[in-house]
A and B are shown apart, each in its own frame.
Chain A
Amino acid sequence: MFLEIKDLSVKIENKNILKGLNLNINKGEVHAIMGPNGSGKSTLANVLAGKEDYEILNGKINFKDNDLFDLNIEERAQEGLFLAFQYPVEIPGVNITPFLHSAINSKRKRMNEEEIDNLSFAKLLKSKASDLGINIDMLKRSVNTGFSGGEKKRYEILQMSILNPELAILDETDSGLDIDALKIVTDGVNKLKTKNNSFLIITHYQKLLDYIKPDYVHVMVNGSVVKSGGSEIAAEIEKDGFQKFL
């Protein structure tokens, strides 16, 4: 199993958020998690990425035959896990290009691959940015600083396409996007899809899933998965809401 989440329970500040959650993802699969506000979707994304604010009460996560809890945040990233943030953090003064260059090389170093030089990286970045309709001038700016909501999400996808992760978690990447931006972002995701990488897509709405076709859809309510199935579940939710799952 590529990613196996078994009976995961998590709390933050004395509040139990995830309560015995189970989820399995194989290589090459696209999974979508849908659920009402406060059901624990973003907590799951943050726990997978390694955010240290949470207390793990019970359960296990295996990723590529490793115990995920044995890896710190950067080791998870270097092993191929990527989180596209719901609210990407603005970091004034940290320029996008050297930051991404350093990120890709830290991953290559862990994989015992040769580091990518300045020139090759600049070419790669330019080509990926152009695919996502990102203006070259934007690459001269500081990370997420002064970006519109749409630009931030596009920049998350640019980072994803540069780092080429094996497991990408998209935490409400569709929120705040207009229809054109949504199309650009989802095109970017679809281009990355291969039989060797997997996606976990967190969303409230079916709209995103019209563009990225999931293999499985899970409904998450009150910290655990209450129903799993195919894309027909997304259509059901679009029609009737989450009420029937509560």
Chain B
Amino acid sequence: MNIQDNYLKNSNNIFFSQNKEVQNHREKLIYNFENDSFDRKNNESLKNVNPKNFIDFKYKYLIPEETSVINNNHENSYSIVSVNGQCSSFKDDKIEISKILVEDYNDFTKNDTIDKNDHFVNLNSLFLNSGFKIVIKKNNNIKIKISNIITDDDLTTFQKNNYICEEGSSLNLIEEYENKNNSTSNILNVIKLEKNSHLNHFLIQDNSPNHSLIVTSHSSCKKNSTYNQKVYNFSEGYVRNFHYSELVETNSEVDLQGVFFLKDNNTSNNKTFVKHLAEDCKSNQVYKGILNDRAKATYFSNTHVDQVAQKTEGYQLSKGILLSDNATYFSKPELKIYADDVKCSHGSTIGPIDENAIFYLRSRGMSKIAATKILISSFINEELSSIDNEQMSEIIQKKLVRYLSKVK
């Protein structure tokens, strides 16, 4: 079935399909899909991906009626189980959870930071069938843990979530993706940080081989706000992490970090993009990958410094360990700088494990396999030791041990 037929057939299950402005936007997207008028050659969203697998849908769109659960464990701590991309409404004096509104959708489509050729973001806009909005109220400091659950096989969720951190608020957000059914989650997180707000965002991804996860985020930071994102990808199925950030007012900071552990024939595509649009802002983009067997990965990192963004500090780093001759990791760092008083750098090192280090450790009595494992752990030591949440640190350690147990 083609895109247009698919859309028309399922439009009753797709959010905002009666809204004129949304309809206009979607008609343009359908036209582009039908006429294949997206740039294919330089399209980062299509690297290592067969778009047909994600366009010729055989999936269900109708989200089953399930009730999500919200527990207020402690005074400042919330635990949410999001079922099939849905979350029940909830309100107290610290947070408010509600459905996303058509205004949120239209606001987002006007933003030009995300590549207009991004197939997955366009599919998300076209077939949007789930999502929620969470507002952290002014001057509150809270923790939220979200478990993202998909209940059915052959289900595709096109989910748009909005997070708004109001002035002076602070949010510690842990998201878990651990799905075992044959399904696809296409998630777009739109994150707004108001003045003096802070968000530490952890994403733990550990899906089975038949679950595809596509996560895109767009964050914007106002004055003195910080957005820190850490992605831990242990999934055995396809995962894409594309994360965009705009520093729109002075003294704001963004840190986008990720580690991925791939094996077998698995693929992971990653991208971080930071746009500096104001003075005195800082950004850091670091991705590290460990690839075994015939695994493939890409990482595109981009720093764009606008001409008004003087005194910018922007750093990029990409590192990879290839545990097999058949594993491949494509990394492409980019800097576009239009201001003259900036400190920016980028670096990329990908290669097999250091044989001299292996020899050194073995010469002290360690077996080759133990030496390899200790070197892999040390490669991501910084990312592991910076987790200040004990429970999460334990979860990540267990997943790492599981991955290492398969390394020969």
**Residues of A in contact with B (beta carbons under 8 Å apart):** 49-52, 72-74, 76-78, 82-83, 85, 88-89, 91-94, 99-100, 102-104, 106-107, 110, 142-143, 159, 163
Give the total of B residues in contact with A, Cβ under 8 Å: 22
Q: Of the listed stretches B23-31, B159-167, B210-218, B370-378, name the one at the interface; the rest are far from the partner chain.
A: B370-378
Chain B residue nearest in CB terms to A81? B363
B363 A93 Cβ-Cβ under 8 A = no
Known: A49-B359, A89-B354, A99-B364. 19 other contacts (CB 8 A): A49-B363, A51-B359, A73-B362, A73-B363, A74-B362, A74-B366, A77-B364, A83-B363, A85-B363, A89-B360, A92-B378, A93-B380, A93-B382, A94-B374, A94-B375, A94-B381, A106-B366, A107-B365, A110-B365
A78 and B364 alpha carbons, distance in the complex (Å): 8
Q: Does B300 interact with chain A (Cβ within 8 Å)? A: no
- Is B357 an interface residue, CB under 8 A from the partner? yes
In whole angstroms, how far apart are the Cα atoms of A72 and B368 in the complex?
A: 10
Are B357 and A91 closer than 8 Å at their CB atoms? Answer: yes
Name the residue in B364, B367, B381 with the highest tally of chain A Cβ atoms < 10 Å from its Cβ: B364
Residues from chain B with a CB closer than 8 A to the CB of A73 are 359, 362-363, 368
CB nearest to A92 among chain B residues? B378
Most buried by A among B365, B370, B374, B382: B365
Q: Provide a sorted-by-A list of 12 A–B residue pairs whose CB atoms are within 8 angstroms.
A: A73-B363, A88-B360, A89-B357, A91-B375, A93-B381, A99-B364, A100-B364, A103-B366, A104-B365, A106-B365, A159-B364, A163-B365
Q: How far does the Cβ of B98 sit from chain A's closest Cβ, in whole Å?
A: 44
Q: Does chain A have a CB within 8 A of B405? A: no
- Chain B residues contacting A143 (CB-CB under 8 Å) are 360
Q: Which residues of the partner chain B approach A91 to less than 8 Å between Cβ atoms? A: 357, 360-361, 375, 378
Render B90-124 as a binary contact track against A, CB cut-off 8 A, 1 for contact: 00000000000000000000000000000000000
A169 to chain B, nearest CB (A): 10
Complex Cα gap A137–B318 (Å)? 31
A102 to B365, CA, bound (A): 8
Chain A residues within an 8 Å CB radius of B366: 74, 102-103, 106
Q: How far is the CB of A57 from chain B (nearest CB, A)?
A: 21
Question: Whole-angstrom distance between the alpha carbons of A76 and B367 in the complex?
Answer: 11
Shortest A42–chain B CB gap in Å is 13
Cβ of B379 under 8 Å from chain A: yes
* Complex contacts, B381 vs chain A, CB 8 Å: 92-94
**A89 vs B354: C-alpha distance when bound (angstroms):** 10
A74 touching B367, Cβ below 8 Å:
yes
Q: How far is the CA of A166 from the CA of B381 in the complex (A)?
A: 34
- Quick one: which of B356, B365, B379, B380 contacts A89, CB cutoff 8 A? B356
Distance, CA A77 to CA B371, complexed state (A): 14
**A103 CB to closest chain B CB, in angstroms?**
4
Interchain CA distance A48-B297 in the complex, whole Å: 40
- Give the residues from 350 to 408 in chain B that come closer than 8 angstroms, CB to CB, to chain A: 354, 356-357, 359-368, 370, 374-375, 377-382
> Of A85, A92, A93, which one neighbours B360 at CB under 8 angstroms?
A85
Q: Which chain A residues border B378 with CB–CB below 8 Å?
A: 91-94, 142
* Contact partners of B379 in chain A: CB under 8 A: 93
Q: Closest B residue to A142 by CB, please name it.
A: B378
Task: Count A-B contacts at CB 8 Å.
Answer: 74
- A59 vs B18: C-alpha distance when bound (angstroms): 85
Q: A52–B362 Cα gap in the complex (Å)?
A: 12
Cα separation A82 to B364 with both chains bound (whole Å): 7
Nearest B residue to A102 via CB reads B366
Closest 8 CB pairs of A and B: A93-B378, A93-B381, A73-B362, A77-B365, A103-B364, A106-B365, A89-B360, A94-B378
Question: Which of A50, A73, A77, A103 has the largest number of chain B CB atoms within 10 A?
Answer: A73
Report Cα–Cα, A122/B381, bound state, in Å. Answer: 22
A94 to B361, CA, bound (A): 10
Cβ–Cβ contact B360 & A77, under 8 A: no
A129-B368 Cα distance, complex, nearest whole Å: 27
A103 to B356: give the CA distance in the assembly, Å: 17
CA distance A83 to B359 in the complex (A): 11
Which of chain B's residues have a CB closer than 8 A to the CB of A103?
Answer: 364-366
CA distance A206 to B377 in the complex (A): 42
Q: Shortest Cβ distance from A111 into chain B, in angstroms?
A: 11
User: Does A102 contact B370, Cβ atoms closer than 8 Å?
Assistant: yes
CB-CB < 8 A to A159: which residues of B? 364
Query: Across the interface, which residues of A come within 8 angstroms of B356, CB to CB?
Result: 89
Q: Which of chain A's residues has its CB closest to B359's CB?
A: A51
CB distance from A191 to the nearest CB of B (A): 20
A100 CB contacts on chain B under 8 angstroms: 364
A52 CA to B111 CA in the complex, in Å?
A: 56
Q: A91-B378, A94-B374 are in contact. Are A163 and B360 (CB under 8 A)?
A: no
Taking CB atoms, residues of chain A closer than 8 Å to B375 are 91, 94
Bound Cα distance from A91 to B356, whole angstroms: 10
A93 lies within 8 A of B377 (CB): yes
**B177: shortest Cβ distance to chain A, in Å?**
27
Output the least CB separation between B53 and chain A (Å): 37
Q: Which of A88, A93, A163 has the most chain B CB within a 10 Å cutoff?
A: A93
Which partner residue on chain A sits nearest B358 by CB separation? A73
Smallest CB separation, B189 vs chain A (Å) = 31
Q: Which residue of B lies closest to A49 (CB)?
A: B363
A106 touches B357 (CB 8 A): no
B382 adjacent to A77 (CB under 8 Å): no
Contacts of B368 in A (CB 8 A): 72-74
Q: Which residues of the partner chain A approach B354 to less than 8 Å between Cβ atoms? A: 89
Q: Given the interface contacts A93-B378, A94-B378, does A77 sit within 8 Å of B357 by beta carbon?
A: no
Q: B329: shortest Cβ distance to chain A, in Å?
A: 20
CB proximity of B355 to chain A, nearest CB, Å: 8
CA distance A106 to B365 in the complex (A): 6
Closest to A91 in B: B357
Q: Which of B362, B366, B368, B375 has the most CB of A within 10 A?
A: B362
Tell me which of A72, A110, A142, A163 contacts B364 (CB under 8 A): A163
